[in-house]
């Protein structure tokens, strides 16, 4: 079975507060070995990017204003992940945002087997930081 490692960047921490997805990045693997297929899109959120979010991902409102909207990339994104197991660090965050975006444009929400690597890390390393940065440092990954 093929897998997709997926990550997003957003304008803020809660889609309930009107925050939107500004980046979707996916790497396909087969039996956890990269196939060379990637899906990467920067997205115009059609709203301003707060300074706090800009400090995290570096995408300004002006820069994103020339990018495609989520509606324009949704079908390609859904086709890329279709039929694959999805691996996400802090899956509830990314899936919440993605499903909110899909719901806004009347597309079916993501229904796939999802593995949350944050949940796995918390079980394996309880009581320690399990952010992606902390895990990379722990495993000496640049």
Burial track 90-120 (b if 16+ CB lie within 10 A, e otherwise): bbebbbbbbbbbbeeeebeebeeebebbbee
Residue 26 has pLDDT above 90, yes or no: yes
State mean pLDDT over 76-87.
98
What pTM was estimated for this model as a whole?
A: 0.95
Residue 1 has pLDDT above 90, yes or no: no
Give tens-digit pLDDT for 101-124. Answer: 999 999 999 999 999 999 999 999
């Amino acid at each position: 079975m093929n897998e997709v490692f997926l990550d997003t960047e957003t304008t803020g921490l809660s889609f309930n507060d009107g925050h939107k997805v500004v980046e979707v990045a996916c790497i396909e693997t087969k039996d956890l070995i990269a196939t060379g297929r990637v899906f990467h899109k920067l997205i115009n959120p059609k709203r301003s990017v707060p300074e706090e979010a800009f400090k995290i991902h570096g995408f300004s409102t002006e820069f994103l204003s020339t990018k495609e909207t989520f509606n324009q990339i949704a079908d390609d994104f859904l086709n890329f992940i279709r039929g694959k197991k999805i691996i996400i660090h802090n899956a509830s965050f990314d899936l919440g945002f993605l499903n909110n975006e899909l719901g806004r444009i009347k597309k079916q929400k993501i229904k796939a087997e999802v593995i949350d690597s944050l949940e796995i890390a918390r079980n394996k390393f309880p009581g320690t930081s399990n952010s992606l940065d902390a895990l990379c440092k722990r495993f000496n990954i640049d």
